[in-house]
């Protein structure tokens, strides 16, 4: 027996669905994915690269496979990621069911937070303790990159990220893009749409999904931090 879908109801004047691009053709969908859990450094010696660009942990690979299973049920046209190992490895796992080669772009990388620090030098030793604590307290309250030492600035970071995502959207109009990136990147894009000034207004779970619909200059957030595909035992942030 063929099951017929329910009839589409007529739209009233000033339909609330119309502004959210639910009735439009040629809408671009962008699914923003935070990478899977990284392998955190355990050494007592501070090495900036170990913190900035670690690979996935074993749990992270499990998370990425759970994500790949749910996204494998969707039509995906494009998968993009940053040049950071945790993002590239997650993107490769997500891309596997689709047979897609991910687009890799450096501009989609996370905030550059340990600039010009030699290996083996703890950044806290380069700043007066009272000033470190003052800026750390400011960061906790306001969550702005400008308060971090040795970091890319808030405006610089947001401009880099938004320029890179705008380019991706312009190249793939009307398609479904899966962007595997980072918490700061996701916050920058969603924050620009929602008018949020904080650089990090929420902390996405590893392998969580946020979705945005785009057409022309209209951008509508449809979901933030979906993680129902990750059971309690593999849910991390």
What's the first-to-final CA gap in the chain, in angstroms?
45
Q: H or E segment at 215?
A: strand 209-215
- 31-234 placed in CATH 3.40.50.1240: yes
Provide the β-strand partners of residue 209: 33, 226
Q: What is the pLDDT along the chain (237 residues), one digit of tens a residue?
A: 567 778 877 888 888 888 899 888 999 999 999 999 999 877 777 776 777 789 999 999 999 999 999 999 999 999 999 999 999 999 999 999 999 999 999 999 999 988 878 878 888 889 999 999 999 999 999 999 999 999 999 999 999 999 999 999 999 999 999 999 999 999 999 999 999 999 999 999 999 999 999 999 999 999 999 999 999 999 999
d(CA 143, CA 201): 7
Residue whose structure tokens are 């010696």: 45
Q: How much is the pLDDT for 40?
A: 83
Tokens of 20: 């959210």
d(CA 177, CA 222): 14
Residue length of the chain: 237
- Is residue 64 within 8 Å of residue 56, measured between CB atoms? yes
Tokens of 41: 């450094």
Number of CB atoms found within 10 A of residue 23's CB:
12
Q: How much is the pLDDT for 103?
A: 98
Give phi and psi for 110, each to the nearest 5. Answer: -70, 170
Give phi and psi for 108, each to the nearest 5. Answer: -95, 10
Per-residue b/e over 125-137, b at no fewer than 16 CB within 10 Å? Answer: eeeeeeeeeeeee
Tokens of 158: 């947001």
């Amino acid at each position: 027996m063929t099951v017929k879908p329910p009839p589409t109801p007529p739209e009233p004047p000033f339909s609330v669905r119309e502004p959210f691009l639910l009735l439009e053709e040629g809408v671009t969908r962008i699914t923003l994915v935070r990478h899977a859990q990284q392998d955190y450094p355990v050494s007592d010696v501070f090495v900036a690269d170990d913190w900035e660009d670690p690979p996935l942990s074993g749990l992270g690979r499990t998370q990425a496979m759970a994500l790949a299973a749910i996204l494998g049920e969707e039509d995906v046209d494009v998968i993009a990621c940053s040049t950071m190992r945790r993002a590239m490895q997650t993107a490769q796992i997500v891309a596997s069911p689709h047979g897609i080669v991910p687009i890799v772009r450096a501009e989609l990388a996370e905030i550059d937070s340990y600039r010009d620090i030699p290996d083996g030098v703890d950044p806290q030793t380069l700043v007066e303790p009272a000033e470190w604590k003052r800026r750390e307290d400011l960061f906790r309250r306001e969550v702005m990159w400008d308060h971090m030492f040795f970091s890319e600035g808030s405006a610089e970071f947001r401009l880099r990220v938004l320029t890179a995502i705008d380019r991706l959207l312009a190249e793939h109009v009307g398609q479904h893009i899966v962007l595997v990136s980072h918490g700061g990147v996701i916050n920058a894009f969603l924050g620009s749409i929602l008018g949020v000034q904080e650089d990090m207004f929420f902390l996405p779970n590893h392998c969580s999904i946020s979705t945005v619909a785009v057409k022309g200059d209209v951008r509508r957030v449809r979901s933030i931090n979906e993680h129902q595909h990750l059971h309690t035992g593999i849910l991390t942030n």
